[in-house]
Structures are given as C-alpha cells and as structure tokens.
Structure 1
Amino acid sequence: MPISFANIPANIKVPLYWVEVDPSMAGLPTINLRALLVGVMTADGEAPADIPLPIGSQAQADLAFGQGSELSRMFKAFFANNFANEVWGLPLAEPAAAAAATGTIDVTDAPTAAGTIHLYIGGEHIPVNVSTSDTTATIAQAIANAINDDPSLPVTAAVSAVGGTGVDLTSVFKSVNGNEIAVSLNYYGSRGGEQTPPGLGLTLPASGFLTGGTGTPSFDTAIINMGEEPFEYVAMPYTDSNSLFDWDQEYGFTDQGRWGWQRQLFGHVFSAKRGTYADLIAFGDALNSPVESIMAVEVASPSPSFEWVAAYTAKAQRALINDPARPLQALTLNDIKAAGVHQRFDFVELNSLASTGLAIQKIGGDNQPMIAREQTTYQLNLYGQPDDAYELVTTLATLAKLLRNQKQAITSKYPRHKLANDGTKFGPGQAIVTPGIVKGELIAQYQQDMYVGLVEDLSNFKRHLLVERDPNDPNRLNVLYPPDLINQLRIFAVLAQFRLQYDRGVDTAIIGPSQPPFNAASGA
C-alpha cells in the first residue's frame, strides 16, 4: 500500500467507503500578531494586576485600568493610531511606596479683558473662559473644575487651601512616569487663536512638568504571566536599565527568549525617551538590543512619553502586519503633539541620534510627528565591534515572517513523515521526505516570499542553501537557510550636475557632425 494514510487502518474489513481529510496542502500561515500595552493602572481599575487582558475599546480600558491611568492613556493614543488590529493590556500595580507627581498653577493677577485660558495638561486642551469680573480665586476654582470635569485626564485638581488662588495638580497614578505630564499654555499660539487674556497672570510649574513622581514597576510577575501567548508588538514606557534588561531578556535571543530557538515566538519591544540632545546621546550609547526600539523625544513635547510609545507601537503594528519589509518612515503619530518649531531636533541631531541606536521622528506637513527611522538600539556585535545587522525593526520583522512561512509549510506538509536519502526508490503517495524534497520545498517557499516582496536574489539563495541529514542522528535533517532580505528605499541621493549651456563640441561628438538645413522645395 504505497499511499500513507494517517487514520484509516490498513487492516480494515468493514465495507465500503471511508475517507480521511488531509489539510496539509491547503493551509496558509494565519498567525494573529497582537500588540501589548504595558503600564501602571490605578487602584480603582477592575482588572487584576500582572495579567494580560484583551481590550476592544477605550471604555473597556478605562473600566479595566482606571480612567486617566498611565495604561488607559496609552490606549487612548493607541486607538487614535490603530483601530483595526488586536491589542491587549498588561496592567501593573503602582510600585510599593511610589509617590504621585504634583505641580501647582498659581493665578497671580485677574484679567483686564474677557478671554479664554488655553491650558494643556499632558497635551490635552482644557479651555477655561474668564471675564473681567472674575477674581484670581474664582479663576483658580474654574481651572480646577475644568480639569476635574474631564476624568480621562491623568491628573486631578484642587484649589489650594492657603489663599485659594493656586490649583494643585496630582497625577492619577503613582510612578516615575507621572513626571511626564506636561503643563503648558497656548500650544498653537496667537496664529492658532490661542493667547492668554490681557492682564491675567498665571504661573505654571517651573519645569513645565509635574514633579516628584517616584516608583518603577516590577515586571517579573507580569512577564511570567504572559506565558507562551504571542505578543508581537509591545509598548513598554519605562527606559531605566532594569526595565529594558527585563524585556530584552524576555524577547531576546537567549535560550529562554522569544527569539530563542526553544520558543520561536519572536516580537519587538517599543519605547520612547524624552531628553535633551546630549542626554539622549549618552543614553543611546549605553544600549545594545536588537529587539528594542526607543524613540527620541524632545523635552518640549507636551505629550507624555508613554503616549508616544503607544502611538509608535500602534503605527508599527498596523504597517508591519500589512508588510513587514516596508519602512515605517512617514507614518504619522496621530494626536501626539510635537515640540515647538524652535525646540525640535535639527538634521544633525536627528542623524546622530539614529547613529546612536535611537529611533527618530520629525514633523510632517500636518504639523504632527511622523516616524523618520525605526532604529533599534543594536549597535555592537558580541566582541564590541560596530555592527548594523539588526539596526532596523524591519529586519527582524521580515525574518519573523519568513520563518513563520517556512514553519507553516514544513509542519503542515511533513508532520509525520519518514526520512530517506536522496535517490531512494519509494512508491508515490508514501509519507517520505529526502533532503532533495525538502530543498525543493524551501526553494518553492522562497519563490513565494520573493513574489510578495520579502526577499531577493533567488539564484544565490539556491547556491548557498544546504539541506543534509545529520551524520550522528539519522532522524534529523539540518538546513542552512540563507535568505537575502529585501531592503528599503531610505535614502535618495541626487547629484544635480547642471549646465547653463552644453558645449557644442561635446554635442558634435555625441550626435555626429551637423547636417545642412533641409530644403522643403527641392526635397534636399
């Protein structure tokens, strides 16, 4: 019986018609590439800490993690940039002994004309109308009321007990990232119709941000509880050395990492870091992970870094699911507010930041930030020498897609096959593979991957591909798989070698000697 059946017994005697269905030649890889947002929840959030939870709407995020919490605000930024792909939340309890960030808005002078205070808390616009009859205490109360009327904000407000002309702000959640909440006025300026009413005196926190927030969450239990669930795109808003190390170990290439040979789950970790140019250069120099991409953010951006992280992750997921090999450049980070024109990184700074292992962003024509280069922090090989093998997110994203395609083809078509040498004579329909059959399968898969724009150079792939039986284990097949990953158009350089007039001698040499003019009457 040359045909290899998986279920119908070879010694069956009962007539007549029996059929088993085999899907091995029909299936296509259909893995669901989820995003995972990681952040601190508040005490009134209903979700248990450290356990991943699927989220389908902002209302669900608010209920599960607490309105205004770090994680709830991350979902707000995520949904503004990605409405279509599956996303989960991983809530973290507030760190033990953590402190909330605080700051004060002081109303020092009453206005001489009516107008609107254009206040921004964490990049969110909070308009407060004032009139000439309002006192400083009345205005302070109006500001506090306007803030508290929006429970989605990451702060609460209370009028100061002493004097009644100050508004004390307190972050809703306790962690060091509470210090990322900016307090500012008139983001769009007078050209955008925003200016402080005449005569009104307001004093904001000196740094422009809430201060005093402390506490970094522990990720140990949360990472353990992720188990073997696939989470391809992780938004992780903490950039201290311990946090980055924990997530690099979970997603890296060690035996226990998600890119390691045992787990084969793959994935990427995204983050963001606010700082001056000098601080970010020093920060980037100390990093070296192929699975982590940290976006550099100017100090003056009103949007918290944890919302930058969520927006970056959302756009990365949305684009890389469609095509993991296309660059992420020019993808807009919606609802994220950039630094002012005079406060943005310039060309030299952006180029240096990208050369120091940080992802970079710049401003698009719509005055919103857009991804400029999805750099990872990988910069050095194991011997500390400069290396660019993993410098771009698209490299590992493309490789993950290729390996998943290959795994699906092999595990679907050859799940219970026998292994023989090339040249073995066996009947058609037998569940037998040889190195040559597998090599042909890999070449066919490579052709499909090339057709959809993931790889190139089929001839050299064939030349370098090796499939052989292990000399010490007759049941093992070893493969050297050498894909040539397709690249991206990232730089378009032009030498515009202009002329005011081409030299006629050169023209003659190119097109030959000039001819006498054509005479239409004589035909000559």
Structure 2
Amino acid sequence: MASPNVSFNTIGSGIRKPGKYFEFNTALAVRTLPGNTQKMLIIGQMLATGTATPLAAVDVFSGDQAALYFGAGSLAHLMTLAAISSNSYLSLQVIGVNDAANGGAAATGTLTLTGPATSTGVVSLWIGNTRLDVTATAGDTATVTAAALVTLIGQTPALPVTASANAGIITLTAKHKGTVGNDINLRAQSTATGATVAVVAMANGATDPDIAPALAAVFAAGHDIVVSPFSTQTALTALRTHIKSVSGPLEQRSAIGVGGWAKTLATGTTLAGQINDGAITLGWHNGSVMLPGEIAAAYAAVIASEEDPARPLNTLALEALDVTALADRPGRNEQENALYNGLTPFEIGPGDVVQIVRAITTYTVDAQGIDDVALLDLTTIRTLYYVRKACRERIALRFPRDKLSTRTGPKVRSELLDVLYKLEELEIVEEVDANKDALIVERDSQDVNRLDAAIPCDVVNGLHVFAGRIDLLL
C-alpha cells in the first residue's frame, strides 16, 4: 500500500524501523521515441560446400563470409553481395535453404563457338552481370577457345554456374536446382574474325525449395525486412503468410517483404495482383541481367538505409544493380501503369545510376476488389509500424505493473498523446491537435483488467507530385 499519488516497487508499507529509504524508479527515464534501426533477413539457396547449417540464420558482414557460409556462387552469396554493395552498413542476417530434395532439376544453357580464328580478338561471355574475356589468336580453333573459357569460369567461383566443354560447345549448368537457374542471363560476342559465338539461353530448371521452413525458423527473430529469393506466387504467398503472422496485433514484430522482378510489366503486375498485400513490395528493374533475388536484396538494403519511416525513397540509388539497355528502360506510361498496379519501378538516372521511382506495395484493391490507396506507399505501413512501436514501448515503460483504477485511463491517454506530439515533431504524423479528441482510452466492457484505446494516426505523406501553372504575361 502507498500514498494516493506515490507507489513503490521495493519499499514495503509495513516498515517500523526508523530510517530514510529510497528506491530508484526508471519507468519515467525514457521520454524520447524509440530507435528504428532496420534488421534485414535474406533467404537464399545454399550449396553443399557452405559451412552454415541450413535453416539457421547467421549474421553476415561481407561477401566473403557469405561465400564461406553458403558456398561461392550460391544464390545466398549473390544476394548478400547485392545487399552489401547497396548498403555497406546493413544489419544483415542470412538463412540458407538446400535445393529441393525431390523433383529438382538444374537449368542448363550452351555457348557454341566456331573457328578457327583468322585474326586476333576477344571472345566475351557474360554470365549475369559478370563479363569473362579470353583472347583468340589467329589459328585458334573453337576447341581451344572453349577450353580457355571453361578454365576461366572455373577460376571465377562467384559465378552461379559450372561449365564443361565438348569440342567447341560449352555447356553451362546452374549450381542450384530450381527455376532460379532459368533466370541466369547469358550473352556473348567475338571480335576475332572467323570465331563466332551462339548462345542458347538457360532453361529447364525446375522445382524451387519451399521457403516456409526458413520463415518458420526465424518466426521469433524480429526481422524488419525479409527478402524472398524467388519472385513466384508460391514464394511470395508464403512470405505474405509469414508477415501477417509476425506483424499482427498479437505478435507485433513488424516486417515488410521484398521481391524483385526483371521481366515484363504485364507479368510483373499480374504477380503483384496475386499477392496484393500492403506489406509486400516488388521492385521492377525491366531487362536486368541480374537474378530476381539479387534485385530484391539490393532494393531491400536501400529500404533499410532509411530509418525515417515516413520519408519517401524516391531517387535513392541502387548501386549494385546493372544499367539496362535503352530499349528496356520503361517510359513514363509504363511507370505510371506499374504504380497503379502494385509494381515499384526503377529507372536509370543521371550518371547511369539505377534509382527508385516511387516505392509502393503490391496492395491495390480491398477484399471486395475495390480500388484502395490506403496502403499504396511503402512509407504508410512503415509509419504505422513505427507508431505502434512507439506507443507500445511507452506504455510498457510507464505502466509495467500498474493497477487499473479510474485514474489509470487518463494517465495512459496522456502518455499516448505525448508520443503523438513527439511523432508530430519529427513529421511522422500530423494534425495531432485536430485529432486529439478522437484519442480514446477507456475500460473494456467485458474484461475488468483491460483498457482499450483508439489512437488517431494521420500519417505524413510523401511529396511525390508538384504541379505548377506558368502564366504568360506580355
């Protein structure tokens, strides 16, 4: 028992020995908002050469570590490289998954060389975004040139393929089983007269591993951003299910999911419509030679670099991504179409830098199929997550073991209002005074031990469009 306005946690009320007793109360110490450092998780296929335990998330700080843990040239390795290249200060964990145990097939492609070369030149092969060059001198046969290329591929362990040669034909085989190998881009050219090259694209990869076990393994880990290695309806649906579970009102471990897309606008918007979720974003880099997982990892790392949840990501650079050909770059109409259909477009900005146009989620329609812009911008869900975190932590700090009396509700409301004012100072929410009458804290009608609250949250929107009229005066 204590006085009406002062309570104690450690000083009992039955003391009779004279003395001056003091305890320390830290519940009022924190008056600021919580930090918002973003913890990112990459899910990626790993190779048998990796030293990490499958389905066990590990901290990764460099591409070399990822190569050691998951195998050089593995999808997990390549995604890590893309992420760290885009944000070197990233708080990153990676969880490896093995190839599918049943039904998996590795994609293959071929490079056919002819010869002999009649002049000295260079035969070049691009595997994804990596260029390999060998010199072909006059008289070199296709067999000689092919052998040189195979040797060079073997000396480049970060590639996602292995190679073998039969005469002048090089067969490239994806290191992973699954559809990921089908997205490995192959290109070739020759400047040596008489030596020609012809490419057959990677194909016939089948059966991706299920990422659900990896998501289950990190259910309680509290990652803010989760990157999918595959941009398929199956993988992104599993990610959506995970995020709804961990970010719901009971678990409250707020997270967003990120995928990548390099193919056509039509197929990308179809995929976005199949997911239609306000916490999943799909980055579109049309015509990219990089894997969807690499695109997703680079995009996610840039999202993680912005701790202010309300600040738009427009124009932020994706330095790890390739500069696409002019013919592949989406025009304004395509970008508008993407933004109306749940796809985040990238563009090539000044200095040939890949940039985010506007980061949006895949959510475009509500449960009735009616157009809904409530969660259009990625900043909206990130802001709501942060407001929830700020309110929850303040209540937890101030009222760790309080009684529920008629005085408790007003005290809780006061703390929530203080949080909202501080959020307004940082331009995360706005119009707090105008909406404060809607801030309600009241006792539950059924549970005598419960307080219920309605917290108005007018999120600060991004400045995405400016329109001006210039009036001519003569």
**TM-score, length of structure 2 as denominator length:** 0.94
Letter aligned with residue 314 of structure 2: Q
Q: SS where residue 473 of structure 1 aligns?
A: coil
Q: Distance in 1 between matches of 2:120 and 2:423?
A: 65
Corresponding residue to 1:90 among 76, 79, 95? 95
Check 1:19–1:65 CA distance in 2 against 1; reply closer, same or farther (3 A cut). Answer: farther
Distance 2:331 2:272 in 1: 17
Match of 2:11 in 1: 8
Shift of 1:473: 3.0
Distance (whole Å) between structure 1 residues aligned to residue 23 and residue 192 of structure 2: 79
Quote how far apart the aligned CAs of 1:32 are.
Answer: 4.8
2:449 is paired with a residue whose SS is: strand
2:118 & 2:462 partners in 1: Cα distance?
58
Q: Which amino acid aligns with 1:259?
A: S
Stretches of structure 2 lacking an aligned partner (at least 5 in a row): none
Query: Larger radius of gyration, structure 1 or 2?
Result: 1
**Residue aligning to 1:324:** 309
Shift of 1:235: 0.9
Cα separation, 2, equivalents of 1:67 and 1:215: 21
1:107 & 1:15 partners in 2: Cα distance?
A: 98
1:172 aligns with 2:166: no
Do the aligned residues in 2 keep the contact of 1:398 with 1:454 (CA within 8 Å)? yes
Change beyond 3 A, Cα 1:5–1:302: same
Q: Distance in 2 between matches of 1:129 and 1:304?
A: 28
The residue type paired with residue 311 of structure 2 is R
| 1:202-281 pair list within 5 angstroms | 202-205=197-200, 209-252=201-244, 257-281=245-269
Superposition TM-score, scaled by structure 1 size: 0.85
**Pick from 291, 303, 316: which aligns with 1:304?**
291
1:218 counterpart SS class = coil
- Is 1:368 the counterpart of 2:353 in the alignment? yes
Assess if the C-alpha contact under 8 Å between 2:391 and 2:416 holds in 1: yes
Report the CA distance shift for 1:14/1:81 in structure 2 as closer, same or farther (over 3 A): farther
- 1:169-223 alpha-carbon deviations (Å, 9 max, x no partner): 111111211111111247xxxxxxxx73444311112xxx411111121123222
CA distance in 2 between counterparts of 1:330 and 1:198 reads 44
Q: 1:411-455: per-residue Cα shift (whole Å, max 9, x none)?
A: 00111112222xxxxxxxxxxx43222222111111111111201
1:418 counterpart SS class: coil
Aligned to 1:145, what secondary structure does the other structure show?
Answer: helix
Alpha-carbon separation, structure 1, partners of 2:11 and 2:116: 89
Q: 1:35 corresponds to which residue?
A: 40
Q: Distance in 2 between matches of 1:116 and 1:52?
A: 43
Q: 1:66-215, aligned counterparts within 5 Å?
A: 66-96=71-101, 97-160=103-166, 164-185=167-188, 196-205=191-200, 209-215=201-207
Q: Tell me what 2:456 maps to.
A: 482
Match of 1:504 in 2: none
1:23 aligns with 2:17: no
> Alpha-carbon deviation of 1:13?
5.3
Look up the equivalent residue of 1:440 and give its one-letter code: S
Task: Give the Cα separation in 2 of the matches to 1:265 and 1:272.
Answer: 23
Q: What's the counterpart of residue 376 of structure 2?
A: 391
In 2 relative to 1, CA 14–124 (structure 1 residues): closer, same or farther, beyond 3 Å?
farther
Cα distance change, pair 170–414 in 1 and its aligned pair in 2 (3 A): same
Q: Report the CA distance between 1:63 and its aligned residue.
A: 1.2
- Which residue number in structure 2 is paired with residue 345 of structure 1? 330
Distance 1:18 1:68, change over 3 A: farther
Sort the Cα spacing of 1:16 and 1:138 in 2 relative to 1 into closer, same or farther, 3 A: farther
Which amino acid letter does the alignment assign opposite residue 88 of structure 1?
A: Q
Measure, in 2, the Cα distance between the counterparts of 1:454 and 1:397: 10
Greater shift after overlay, 398-407 or 364-373?
Answer: 364-373
1:30-81 superposed Cα distances (whole Å, 9 cap, x missing partner): 4653100011111221222222222122222111111100111100101101
Gaps of 5+ in 1: 187-194, 422-432, 502-524
Hey, what's the Cα distance between the residues in 2 that align with 1:20 and 1:35? 40
Q: State how far apart, in whole Å, the 2-side matches of 1:278 and 1:149 are.
A: 39
Task: Please give the per-residue CA displacement for 1:80-133, whole angstroms capped at 9, x wherever unaligned.
Answer: 011112111111110123111111111113433323334211111222233224
Bigger drift between 48-57 and 165-174 goes to: 48-57
Q: Could you say which residue in structure 1 is the equivalent of 2:423? A: 449
Alignment coverage as a number of residue pairs: 468
User: For the Cα contact (< 8 Å) 1:223–1:250, is it kept in 2?
Assistant: yes
Q: Distance in 2 between matches of 1:147 and 1:400?
A: 46
The alpha-carbon deviation at position 297 of structure 1 amounts to 3.1
**Identity, % of aligned positions:** 27
Cα separation, 1, equivalents of 2:267 and 2:36: 40
Per the TM alignment, residue 287 of structure 1 is displaced from its structure 2 partner at its CA by 3.2
Moved more, 14-23 or 69-78: 14-23
Q: CA RMSD in A?
A: 1.9
Residue 428 of structure 1: aligned partner: none
Q: For residue 140 of structure 1, give the secondary structure of its aligned residue in structure 2.
A: helix
Contact 1:287 1:357 in 2 (8 A): no
Rounded Cα–Cα distance in structure 1 between residues aligned with 2:442 and 2:305: 39
Aligned to 1:497: 471
Post-superposition CA distance 1:255-290 (Å, at most 9, x none): xx1221110111100001232233334333333111
Paired residue type of 1:274: A
Q: Cα–Cα, structure 1 residues 157 and 13, in superposed 2: closer, same or farther, change >3 Å?
A: farther
Counterparts of 2:399 and 2:387, CA distance in 1: 18
